[in-house]
């Protein structure tokens, strides 16, 4: 062992020790979080790691930036062999992976060309940040990003230079396969300082690797360590199912989340995993239209608060820390305005490449505001009161819930036994004048297809979606349990809905309370009727039509094709698409209880979506959700286009096209 080896062993040992101490410390902070079982269904979790973490499928939704990150990620994975070899040389100067024999040849070739791809990708990233300046990359950690990119660049370059000089000093049979490093050796072939140059490049290479390693826990690049585990631990159940609060737990003194100790360890781990890439915020309809909400800031602030408060909680020492203890996550770091701006559209979660669960954090903090502090937008006060008194968010008496069907001879569950399908009308379908037309159209389709169906009539109550998303878990659970009692009394097994919010709640959330039913959205139901020939329609729609995706139908439940199939069946011409469609669709602005709140900041979300539709010079906007129908109808009216552009639900369009 020479002097270089001795120095290296010391430096390496110190660097690894510091890294281990910091990693242990940061992961130790997660102890302040609540328990959350994320280790079930191991095989399914591993499959998702392969596709999302290693396959980089979410990043590739943005092709150029995705490929750039793909090459950098896989470059580092593959080049771990080169780093291992360089580190091993620090312990033994003559170490070589040549003991692998011919297997080493493809390894050497891969190292050469992957390093080049990494260099090109890093250069692209630097130029992209400096010249094109994507808006989502503005703000946080710009200097840190440049530092890390240049470190990666010089790690790659120093590897080439190190190998180039090494081939001159100690040529071996693998040198011919180092094509790029070989082309650089002519820079040093006549140098009398090759040994010095070799150790200089080697130390630069290894030094940068060790510095890079120890920077990770203190930077956004911590995700290099945490992203793969975060993908593994991401929830497997539907994002349409909100975590249930046990309201009967007498030990609970606080509901929801006000500070880091109220979050689960996984929610805290999300903070470590955020790459600060801004994809979530760039897709957020609230942020796009000028509201304060930034999903990225929500997660970043969770990490900031964790690092600030966790050491105090774990040490149980409060002296000289009153300023930290007297603050909390909600209010001190995250404002009410941010939380109430969210439409729960799931765009942030869909775009996040490391599977962070932003909406769950936001809903949990809303729960704290509502259940503990009674702090919520004033518009929700009346809506909550209506839910309690009338079982709908409007001021209509529950006894008038069936009035929309008075002239339709619709069977009601309490007076008929001969039905096998329950038509869940929903609050909008029963009380909103515009949405009533969807309900009536659906009845026409059901009768035309000879379905044995019934409605609950005045026994139906709000599913609780609005209450849950607005944080009023107590009210939501009351409605859920009462509805389940009613449904089970009639032995209901199959439910049809016209509202994606009712559909999502009945399908994904009622099972947690004992309500297990087959729930079908009317888009799937109608598409099946058409494909089986149970109803026949004419191709009578000659209007240029665009379809708007409901967030709760699309991103939450993966239903995109059925509505389009229906519209194409009835349309003379193929329907057109907005740029933001399907899982990249743009919210109408009504989700997350926003239907019952006013927008006082920035551009109205429904105007943003309406403008996108109108830019296509269309004659009709097709919808599959009563809320979307209302929001887009208002948008078209506000743009003074209601005379030339219709907004219709797919059920209305099909009902109009039915052949007698």
The whole-number pLDDT of residue 182 equals 83
- Say whether pLDDT at 528 is over 90: yes
Determine the straight-line distance between the first and last CA of the chain, rounded to whole angstroms.
93
Compute the distance between CA of residue 529 and CA of residue 535 in angstroms, rounded to an integer: 6
Give the pair of three-digit tokens for residue 478. Answer: 């009351």
Q: Mean pLDDT over residues 610-637, rounded?
A: 98
Q: What mean pLDDT do residues 341-365 have?
A: 97
Distance CA 441, CA 454 (A): 15
- Model confidence at 319: pLDDT above 70: no
Contacts of 190 (CB under 8 A, 6+ apart): none
Element (H, E) at 547: strand 545-547
Find the mean pLDDT for residues 518-532: 97
Per the listing, tokens 């979300």 go with 605
- Centroid of chain to Cα 334: 19
CA dihedral 314, 316, 322, 327 (to 10 degrees): 40
Residue with the larger pLDDT of the pair 74 and 625: 625
Residues 19 and 215: their CA atoms lie apart, in Å, by: 9
Distances (CA, A) of 340 to 376, 543, 630: 8, 38, 20
Those residues whose C-beta lies under 8 Å from the C-beta of residue 94, and which sit 6 or more positions away, are none
C-beta of residue 363 within 8 angstroms of C-beta of residue 471: yes
The secondary structure element, H or E, covering residue 646 is strand 646-649
| pLDDT digits 0-9 by tens, 25-50 | 999 999 999 999 999 999 999 999 99
540 against 514, higher pLDDT: 514
Q: Give the separation between CA 175 and CA 111, rounded to whole angstroms.
A: 12
Distance of CA 69 to the CA centre of its chain: 19
- Over 90: is that where the pLDDT of 539 sits? no
Q: What is the mean pLDDT of residues 393-414?
A: 95
pLDDT at 490 over 80: yes
Q: Could you read off the pLDDT of 417-427 as tens digits, one per residue?
A: 889 999 999 99
Q: What value does the mean pLDDT take over residues 271-280?
A: 94
* Residue 166 pLDDT exceeds 90: no
Q: Which residues contact 215 (CB under 8 A, 6 or more apart)?
A: 148, 221
Whether 321 shows a pLDDT value over 80: the answer reads no
3-class SS shares of the chain: helix, strand, coil, % to 5:
60, 5, 35
For residue 258, the model assigns a pLDDT of 97
> Could you tell me the pLDDT band of residue 318, with boundaries at 50, 70 and 90?
low
DSSP letters spanning 430-453: HH-HHHHHHHHHHHHHHHHTT--E
pLDDT single digits (tens) 424-453: 999 999 999 999 999 999 999 999 999 999
3-state helix/strand/coil string of 353-401 = CCCCCHHHHHHHHHHHHHHHCCCCCHHHHHHHHHHHHHCCCCCCCHHHC
Query: pLDDT confidence of 252, banded at 50, 70, 90?
Result: confident
Q: What DSSP character marks residue 644?
A: T
CA-to-CA separations, 493 to 375, 481, 512, in angstroms, rounded: 38, 16, 16
Q: What are phi and psi of 621, to 5 degrees?
A: -110, 120
Quick one: what percent of the chain has pLDDT higher than 70?
A: 99
Q: Report the distance separating Cα 317 and Cα 308, nearest Å.
A: 13
Residue range 607-636: mean pLDDT, rounded: 98
The whole-angstrom separation of Cα 551 and Cα 588 is: 8
> How do residues 325-345 score in pLDDT, each as one tens digit?
889 999 999 999 999 999 999
* Long-range contacts, stretch 317-325, CB < 8 angstroms, 24+ apart: none
Q: Under 8 Å CB-to-CB from 483, ≥6 apart: which residues? A: 460, 461, 463, 464, 510, 515
pLDDT digits (tens, 9 = 90+) for 288-305: 999 999 999 999 999 999
pLDDT of the residue at 281: 96
Tens of pLDDT, residues 545-562: 999 999 999 999 999 999
Helices and strands: H and E segment counts in the chain: 27, 7
Strand partners, 423: 496
The interaxial angle of helices 223-233 and 265-273, nearest 10 deg, is 140
Lowest-confidence range among 76-90, 529-543, 616-630?
76-90
What is the arithmetic mean of pLDDT over 8-33?
96
pLDDT at 349 over 80: yes
What is the spatial distance between Cα 102 and Cα 199, in angstroms, rounded to a whole number? 27
Segments in 491-618 forming alpha helices (H): 500-504, 522-531, 561-570, 605-614
**In the predicted structure, residue 253 carries a pLDDT above the cut 80:** yes
CA distance 455 to 453: 7
Average of per-residue pLDDT across 383-410 = 95
Q: Taking 80 as the threshold, does the pLDDT of residue 222 lie above it?
A: yes
Tell me what pLDDT residue 339 has.
Answer: 98
Is residue 320 scored above 70 in pLDDT?
no
pLDDT of residue 141: 65
Tokens (6 digits) for 24: 């242990």
Three-state DSSP state, 623: strand
Cα angle vertex 250, ends 246, 253, to 5°?
85
Distance CA 357, CA 266 (A): 9
Q: Where are the beta strands (DSSP E) in 58-173?
A: none
SS3 category, 583:
helix
The CA angle 61-63-64, to the nearest 5 degrees, is: 140
On whether the CB atoms of residues 258 and 382 are closer than 8 A, the answer is no
Per-residue pLDDT tens over the stretch 88-123: 888 988 887 878 788 888 888 888 899 999 999 999
- pLDDT in the model for residue 65: 84
Q: Which residues pair with 334 in a beta bridge?
A: 330
């Amino acid at each position: 062992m020479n002097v270089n080896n001795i120095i290296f062993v010391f430096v390496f040992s110190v660097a690894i020790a510091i890294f281990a101490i910091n990693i242990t410390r940061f992961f130790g902070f997660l102890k302040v979080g609540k328990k959350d079982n994320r280790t079930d269904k191991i095989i399914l979790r591993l499959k998702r790691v392969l596709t999302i973490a290693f396959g980089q499928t979410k990043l590739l939704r943005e092709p150029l930036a995705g490929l750039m990150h793909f090459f950098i990620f896989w470059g580092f994975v593959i080049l771990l062999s080169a780093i291992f070899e360089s580190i091993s040389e620090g312990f033994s100067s003559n170490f070589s992976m040549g003991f692998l024999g011919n297997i080493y040849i493809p390894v050497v070739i891969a190292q050469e060309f992957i390093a080049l791809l990494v260099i090109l990708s890093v250069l692209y990233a630097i130029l992209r940040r400096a010249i094109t300046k994507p808006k989502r990359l503005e703000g946080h950690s710009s200097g840190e990003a440049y530092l890390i990119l240049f470190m990666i660049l010089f790690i790659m370059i120093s590897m080439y230079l190190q190998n180039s000089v090494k081939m001159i000093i100690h040529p071996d049979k693998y040198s011919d396969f180092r094509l790029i490093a070989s082309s650089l050796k002519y820079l040093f072939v006549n140098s009398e300082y090759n040994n010095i140059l070799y150790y200089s490049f080697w130390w630069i290479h290894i030094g940068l690797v060790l510095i890079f390693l120890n920077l990770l826990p203190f930077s956004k690049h911590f995700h290099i360590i945490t992203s793969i585990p975060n993908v593994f631990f991401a929830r497997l159940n539907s994002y349409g199912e909100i975590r249930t609060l046990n309201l009967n737990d007498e030990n609970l003194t606080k509901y929801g989340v006000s500070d880091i100790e109220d979050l689960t360890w996984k929610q805290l781990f999300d903070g470590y995993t955020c790459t600060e890439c801004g994809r979530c915020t760039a897709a957020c309809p609230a942020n796009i239209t000028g509201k304060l909400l930034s999903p990225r800031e929500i997660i970043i602030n969770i990490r900031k608060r964790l690092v600030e408060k966790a050491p105090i909680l774990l040490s149980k020492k409060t002296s000289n820390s009153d300023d930290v203890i007297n603050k909390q996550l909600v209010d001190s770091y995250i404002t009410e305005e941010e939380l109430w701006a969210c439409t729960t559209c799931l765009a942030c979660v869909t775009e996040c490449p490391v599977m962070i669960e932003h909406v769950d954090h936001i809903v949990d903090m809303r729960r704290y505001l509502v259940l503990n502090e009674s702090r919520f937008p004033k518009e929700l006060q009346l809506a909550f009161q209506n839910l309690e008194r009338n079982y709908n968010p409007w001021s209509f008496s529950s006894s008038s819930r069936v009035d929309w069907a008075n002239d339709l001879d619709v069977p009601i569950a309490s007076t008929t036994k001969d039905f096998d399908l329950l038509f869940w009308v929903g609050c909008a379908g029963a009380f909103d004048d515009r949405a009533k037309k969807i309900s009536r159209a659906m009845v026409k389709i059901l009768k035309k297809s000879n379905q044995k169906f019934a409605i609950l009539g005045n026994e139906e109550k709000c599913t609780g979606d609005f209450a849950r998303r607005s944080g009023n878990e107590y009210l939501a659970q009351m409605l859920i349990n009462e509805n389940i009692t009613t449904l089970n009394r009639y032995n209901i097994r199959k439910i049809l809905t016209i509202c994606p919010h009712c559909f999502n709640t009945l399908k994904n959330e009622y099972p947690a309370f004992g309500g297990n039913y087959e729930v079908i959205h009317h888009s799937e139901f109608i598409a099946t009727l058409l494909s089986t020939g149970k109803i026949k329609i004419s191709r009578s729609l000659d209007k240029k039509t665009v379809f708007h995706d409901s967030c709760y139908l699309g991103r939450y439940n993966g239903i995109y094709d059925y509505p389009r199939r229906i519209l194409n069946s009835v349309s003379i011409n193929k329907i057109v698409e907005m740029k933001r469609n399907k899982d990249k669709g743009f919210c109408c602005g009504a989700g997350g209880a926003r239907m019952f709140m006013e927008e006082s900041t920035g551009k109205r979300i429904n105007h943003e979506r309406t403008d996108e539709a109108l830019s296509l010079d269309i004659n009709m906007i097709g919808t599959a959700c009563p809320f979307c129908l209302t929001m887009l109808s208002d948008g078209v009216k506000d743009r003074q286009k209601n005379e030339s552009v219709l907004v219709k639900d797919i059920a209305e369009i099909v009902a109009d096209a039915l052949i007698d």
